[in-house]
Amino acid sequence: MSTKRILSNTIDTNQEYEVVGLDLAKNCVSAALITIEGELIGIDRLEYQDLRKCAQEMPATTFAMEPCCEMNLLVNELESWGHRCVVIDGKNVQNYIETHFSNQKTDLNDAQALAFLARDKQIRLIKPKDRQQLEFACLTTLREQYVKQYRQTLVSLKGICQSWGLNISKGISGKARLSEMIEKYEKFPEELRRELQNMVKHAQEVQKALTEINKTLKQVSKGDELCKMVQTVPGIGLVCACRLKATIGDISRFKHPKNFPAYFGLVPRSISTGHNEKKGRLTKRGDKTMRSLMIQAAGSVILMANKGNLKARALSKWILKKQREKMPWGKLTCAVAAKLLRIIRAMLISGKSFNPKVAAIAKCSLPKQTV
């Protein structure tokens, strides 16, 4: 195939293309189109409205792009018009630019790299979100931002108060009492006291917004079967179930139980050279928020097992055994989080709710009728 790039200003909708590589930007895209005959056509700047108009008139083809803010909505639109979309990790594009373009990174080079990488059958693709998943993902992301704002506001407020000699204990969480303490403390300058009161009001507003978004999550997840089923697992609550809904997609794409925790970065790196193999740190791939929520869920499950409140006896015995073996807390929580994900995968594939009698028992050890 010729690698000569022919520059153009728009997409010829009468021509058939094998693949179209799109480098997405805020207001426009750069496109590299490979025709059925093997010609490479490059478009440096193409408006989104022009891209959408041409895509509706084009014959069905493959569009390739990197993950970004605009990606999910554009993929849903292109697929509704009969096209196939593939999303490729930016690291693969970066490696292609280094080896094929001498590390000369331009928008057109990125688009061309995406077009050629989309023809590779062995490359791992990123699963885009549909509209429902995108809604769950945005709501849970907004909730995380509210939680961060609330914590940062209170920590900053307590630090400033302590620098003036007013020590606020951890047990004081009521905003009215906190506001009263600031008002009565005489060492504060009047200007500083006013701003500290504003910080207290801001914390109250963020707390109200957090309450409202929790109600919204409860409402949108009420009719979703996946959210209902996942919440039967110990330690998994509303927020964790909604984030799982946003990130899982089609559960059948995880062919092996280990693939599911690996998708969220809860497996150790494999480092091997010659005949020596060892395990490294966690890969920490995938969704950071989901991984954090699963670690919190695992911590609550461990506490339940220690108090004897965990109904799943096999899972409880396994956790207590690891503790007797002096497994560090960090490793134990990661191991329990990975085990919970494997349990969730088995539930979603079988379509059955959490069964405490078989949870954490190896499949080969189960009677045939319960497999």
Tens of pLDDT, residues 129-178: 999 999 999 999 999 999 999 999 999 998 999 999 988 877 665 677 88
3-state secondary structure the chain: CCCCEEEECCCCCCCCEEEEEEEECCCEEEEEEEECCCCEEEEEEEEHHHHHHHHHHCCCCEEEECCCCCHHHHHHHHHHCCCEEEEECHHHHHHHHHHHCCCCCCHHHHHHHHHHHCCCCCCCEECCCCHHHHHHHHHHHHHHHHHHHHHHHHHHHHHHHHHCCCCCCCCCCCHHHHHHHHHHCCCCCHHHHHHHHHHHHHHHHHHHHHHHHHHHHHHHCCCCHHHHHHCCCCCCCHHHHHHHHHHHCCHHHCCCCCHHHHHCCCCEEEEEECCEEEEEEECCCCCHHHHHHHHHHHHHHHHHHHHCCCCCHHHHHHHHHHHHCCCCHHHHHHHHHHHHHHHHHHHHHHCCCCCCCCCCCCHHHCCHHHC
pLDDT tens string for the chain (371 positions)? 446 888 888 999 999 999 999 999 989 999 999 999 989 999 999 999 999 999 999 999 999 999 998 899 999 999 999 999 999 999 999 999 999 999 999 999 999 999 999 999 999 899 999 999 999 999 999 999 999 999 999 999 989 999 999 888 776 656 778 888 899 999 999 999 999 999 999 999 999 999 999 999 999 999 899 999 999 999 999 999 999 999 998 899 999 999 999 999 999 888 877 777 788 888 898 899 999 999 999 999 999 999 999 988 889 999 999 999 999 999 999 999 999 999 999 999 999 889 888 776 666 555 555 44
